[in-house]
Amino acid sequence: MRSGLDIDEGYLPWDPVVQMLYGEDDMAGWSAAHGLAEQPGTEWEYLSAVSNILAQVVRAQFYTDAEYWAYPRTALFDPIGADSATLETDTSGTWAASSYLWASTADWARLGQMMLDDGKWEGEQILPPGWLALAQTPALPQGEGAGYGAGSWLPGNPVGGECRDEPRVPTDTVSMEGHWGQLVEMVPSRDAVIVRLGWTFDSDQFGACEFMADVLAALP
């Protein structure tokens, strides 16, 4: 999330993310066509567009689109038994990696458990060893970027984590987060995975940090 692209992350009907998700056949191409607002690598800003550009980069590694489209299931979902998981594409055929991964609560928990176990599932290495350490490495040492790792949030990071003011959230927590309070929290120090798929539009009615802390407090 240090691309420097001149795109604002917003979800109102007239905002760029909504235009990308609902109005563009080629999300990655639309994203990459934007100019720069900052020198790449110097500033951190969460952008859904970056995930879709990366999905296009991955697509270029395959000889055929059929192999590319099958890869999430053959390499990840099937090995961990995530039968409900579905990663959709845009009209051009590139994964909409920012937004359109659908799965049941149980299958999100499977993904979280595999990540918590450093990419292993029932003894089989699904992701490369060292994934967890990479995910826990802040994008930048200061600012909001300190609260973000490798495609994952670091809510307990004492510098930039969104839960840095909630001392009950462990500093080693790694999080996948969706719209309006969707959460998959992985907490190595507690050997815990927490999943919430509910939507709460009013931020005053749900606090992710308090929720995670309360669930951890209820665990043995």
The tens digit of pLDDT for each residue in 138-164 reads: 999 999 999 999 999 999 999 999 999
Task: Delimit the domains of the chain by residue range.
Answer: 1-102, 104-220
Residue range 43-62: average pLDDT? 97
- Return the C-alpha torsion angle 188, 190, 192, 198, nearest 10: -100
Which one, of 49, 57, 48, 55, lies nearest residue 72 by Cα?
55
Q: What whole-number distance in Å separates Cα of residue 187 and Cα of residue 131?
A: 14
Q: What whole-number distance in Å separates Cα of residue 128 and Cα of residue 169?
A: 27
Q: What whole-number distance in Å separates Cα of residue 126 and Cα of residue 137?
A: 20
Report CA 117 to chain centroid distance, whole Å.
17
Contact 43, 4 (CB under 8 A): yes
| Confidence label for 194 from pLDDT (cuts 50, 70 and 90) | very high
Residue range 58-70: average pLDDT? 98
Q: What whole-number distance in Å separates Cα of residue 42 and Cα of residue 31?
A: 19
Q: What whole-number distance in Å separates Cα of residue 67 and Cα of residue 75?
A: 11
Q: What whole-number distance in Å separates Cα of residue 106 and Cα of residue 104?
A: 5
CATH code for the domain defined by 104-220: 3.40.710.10
Give the tokens for residue 142.
Answer: 């200061």
Phi-psi bin for 215: left (phi > 0), alpha (psi -120 to 50), beta?
A: alpha
pLDDT on residue 191:
97
Residue type, 102: W
Contact 110, 59 (CB under 8 A): no
Which burial class, exposed, middle or buried, applies to 50 when counting CB atoms under 10 A from its CB (0-12, 13-18, 19+)? buried
pLDDT on residue 103:
97
Give the tokens for residue 211.
Answer: 């929720």
Which one, of 179, 153, 155, lies nearest residue 169 by Cα?
155
**In residues, how long is the chain?**
220
Q: If you average pLDDT over every residue of the chain, what do you get? A: 96
